[in-house]
Amino acid sequence: MNDSRGVISEKFGRVLIIICCLTYASAYLGRLSYSANITAIAADMGVTKDALGLVGTYMFFAYGAGQLVHFFLAKYYNPKLAVPLAAVGTAVCNYLMTVATDVSVMKIIWMINGICQSFFWCNVCNMQARYLRRSQIAKCVMWLGFSYCFGTFAVYAISAVFVGINWRISFYTYSAIIAAAAVAWVIMSVAIGRAKLTDDETEPASDIAATDTVKPTKLYTGYFCRMLSFVALVSVIMAFIRDGVIMWFPTMLKDKFGLADGYAVTITMAVALMSTVGIYMAKAASARIHGYLRIMGLALFSISVAFAAGILFYNLDIEIGFIVAFAVAVCFIYCIGNVITGKIPFGVRKYGNVGGLSAMLDAFCYLGSSIATYTFGAVAEKSGWTAVLIMISVISVIGGVSALIGSRLVRRDSLTDELL
Q: What is the mean pLDDT of residues 248-260?
A: 86
Is the predicted pLDDT of residue 142 greater than 60, yes or no? yes
CATH number, span 10-419: 1.20.1250.20
- CA–CA gap between residue 59 and residue 97 (Å, rounded): 13
Mean pLDDT over the full length of the chain = 86
Q: How far, rounded to the nearest angstrom, does the alpha carbon of residue 125 sit from its chain's CA centroid?
A: 13
- Tens of pLDDT, residue by residue over 285-323, are 988 998 999 999 999 999 999 999 999 999 999 999 999
Q: What is the mean pLDDT of residues 226-236?
A: 92
Is the predicted pLDDT of residue 98 greater than 80, yes or no? yes
Is the predicted pLDDT of residue 212 greater than 70, yes or no? no
Q: How far, rounded to the nearest angstrom, does the alpha carbon of residue 399 sit from its chain's CA centroid?
A: 18
Check if the beta carbon of residue 407 is closer than 8 Å to that of residue 294: yes
Is the predicted pLDDT of residue 208 greater than 70, yes or no? no
Percent of the chain exceeding pLDDT 90 equals 40
Q: What is the mean pLDDT of residues 224-234?
A: 90
Is the predicted pLDDT of residue 205 greater than 50, yes or no? no
**Domain range summary for the chain, segments of one domain joined by +:** 10-419
Instruction: Give which of 117, 105, 127 is closest to 65, Cα–Cα.
Output: 117
Q: How far apart are the first and last CA of the chain?
A: 36
Instruction: Give which of 84, 82, 91 is closest to 176, Cα–Cα.
Output: 91
Is the predicted pLDDT of residue 204 greater than 50, yes or no? no
Is the predicted pLDDT of residue 269 greater than 90, yes or no? no
